[in-house]
Amino acid sequence: MIAVVKPWHAVLSALLFFLPLGAAAADDVSGAARELARKTAAFAGRGALVSVTWRKNSSLESMAAQARAAFEAALQEAGLRISEITPAAELRITVSESAAQFLLVEEAAKGDEHQVFIASWKRADTPSTSAPAVALEKKLLWEQDEPILDIAFPAAGMLVLSPSSATLYTHAGAQWEAQRSVSLAPNKPLPKDVRGRLRFKGTSFEALLPGIACEGVSEPALAMDCHTSDDPWVLESGSRALLLANFAATRNYFDGHVATQAGQRKVVPPFFSAASVEWQGRTWWLLATLDGKTQMFDAALDPASVLALPWGSDIAGTDAHCGSGSQVLATRPGDGSQPDAVQAFTMVDRTPEPLTGAAEFPGPVLVLWTSGGNGATVMVHDLRTGKYAAYALTVVCGG
């Protein structure tokens, strides 16, 4: 504490003589770990036993794992041994970060003597994985005045599902031209923040809205027939995982009654969206629940953990495998009044870690539907123009 600053200060001032000049940031975590181990050895004495505890920093857990491995190795190199039994010095290590660099902060105690050592490395290093750079590619698909619930691209063209109708567009040169629109005409008002989903099988499609199911064909001409329905929706994640989930007819979320691919019926907390993710060879489901958290379930939809992630209510799984495990797309938390962004995450130590930068959008993301493959369709309310836009977002694993 503050009371021991003076001895610290004096010792530190003395130690400064022994530190190599120009101890600037290391290039990577290993270099920083070695620097720290060297200072520790000078403090504890070569060959001494030291105990090491690691302070948790949830935003840098993956970094901490690497730093821990590097530091323990560096300690051994420096001639120190780690032991909890009668250590000569006690070390508490924290992996921290500033705007410009990462830091390894060591609080060392030897008897009544206390010292703080800090080693840093440049922030440009991304030590979480050695995977190649991953990017998100964004492409505007369609823009209209009415909200877009879903968009699909059958062979005939582009089918856009809106709260009032389904419209088939065909290419006319470089433009899309509306060919035919079929009105939905629901027999009761649709709920606020309405959601809808299109699923194509060949030329046939199914359009699902809260309490409504429509069947239709896109060829030879668009035709669609709707009826009241409480059938569960098929939630796909990537191209392989899917989940049957009941959508609350008067709400904008799934009510929690789900069934797995294997047919197991489960009741989970109500959720806005779901995404499956592959990690360590197993499939996990992530559900964005109504309380703003993300719950993790195993493939049998048994609860695994609750994650407090900086995610919004829209997540979508992809087939992208940039590094180990698949990637999940997630929006930023917001209240729907500001421009939103989507980022790709990968599982590290049972926790999703950002893999890409954020793909910014000119308005709030209204819905995120997996589009199969490595991407998802993003429906946005463009605050600049007031229109509603559909984007295709793709995770690109690249070099």
Partner 1 sequence: MRLTPSSPDALGVPKGFVLTSWEAGRRAVFSADENAPGGRPFPDTIEIQMARSLRDQSADLELGKADIVELGPNELRRQVAGRKVWTSSPVRLMALVFGPRITDVRVREALSLAVNRTAIQSVLLQKQGEISGALLPQWITGYAFLFDPATDMATASNLVAGSPAGQRSFSLAADDPADQPIANRIQLNGRDAGLTISVAPPTGNSDVHLVEIRIPFADPPHALASIAAALGLPEPGPTRNPEEAYAAERALLEGFRVIPLFHLPDVYGGGPRVHGGPVMTPLGEWRFDALWVEDRP
Min. distance of Cβ 57 from partner 1 in angstroms? 9
Nearer to partner 1, 256 or 339 (CB): 339
With H, G, I as helix, E, B as strand and everything else as coil, classify residue 229.
coil
Query: Of 367-386, which residues contact partner 1 (CB under 8 A)?
Result: 383-384
State yes or no: residue 22 binds partner 1 (CB under 8 A). yes
Task: Say how many residues make up the chain.
Answer: 399
Query: Of 323-362, which residues contact partner 1 (CB under 8 A)?
Result: 335-339
Kindly indicate which of the ranges 114-122, 196-204, 300-308, 341-349 contains the residues binding partner 1, using the contact rule CB under 8 A: 114-122
User: Which residue type does 41 have?
Assistant: A
Site string for partner 1, 119-138 (x = CB under 8 A): xx------------------
Nearer to partner 1, 16 or 172 (CB): 16
Q: Which of 14, 85, 99, 262 binds partner 1 (CB under 8 A)?
A: 99
State yes or no: residue 1 binds partner 1 (CB under 8 A). yes
Kindly state the tokens that stand for 109: 């105690």
Going from the C-alpha of 104 to that of each of 47, 92, 109, 120, the distances in angstroms are 22, 10, 16, 6
Q: Which of 28, 107, 137, 353 binds partner 1 (CB under 8 A)?
A: 107
Going from the C-alpha of 244 to that of each of 84, 228, 354, the distances in angstroms are 51, 18, 28
State yes or no: residue 53 binds partner 1 (CB under 8 A). no
Q: Which of 103, 274, 376, 393 binds partner 1 (CB under 8 A)?
A: 103
Q: What does the alpha-carbon distance between residue 326 and residue 344 come to, in Å, rounded to a whole number?
A: 10
Min. distance of Cβ 123 from partner 1 in angstroms? 10
Min. distance of Cβ 107 from partner 1 in angstroms? 7
Nearer to partner 1, 317 or 364 (CB): 364
Q: How buried is 272 (Cβ within 10 angstroms: 0-12 exposed, 13-18 middle, 19+ buried)?
A: buried
The H-or-E segment that residue 46 falls in is: none
Nearer to partner 1, 93 or 156 (CB): 93
Q: Which of 43, 102, 254, 279 binds partner 1 (CB under 8 A)?
A: 102
Q: What does the alpha-carbon distance between residue 151 and residue 138 come to, in Å, rounded to a whole number?
A: 15
Q: What does the alpha-carbon distance between residue 93 and residue 56 come to, in Å, rounded to a whole number?
A: 9
Min. distance of Cβ 63 from partner 1 in angstroms? 12
With H, G, I as helix, E, B as strand and everything else as coil, classify residue 59.
helix
Q: What does the alpha-carbon distance between residue 397 and residue 319 come to, in Å, rounded to a whole number?
A: 11
User: Which residue type does 193 have?
Assistant: D
Q: Which of 7, 9, 139, 300 binds partner 1 (CB under 8 A)?
A: 9
Query: Of 147-206, which residues contact partner 1 (CB under 8 A)?
Result: none
The separation between CA 284 and the C-alpha centre of its own chain, rounded to angstroms, equals 13
Q: What does the alpha-carbon distance between residue 295 and residue 230 come to, in Å, rounded to a whole number?
A: 25
The residues that touch partner 1, with contacts defined as CB under 8 A, are 1-2, 5-6, 8-9, 12-13, 16, 21-25, 94, 96-103, 105, 107, 116-120, 335-339, 383-384
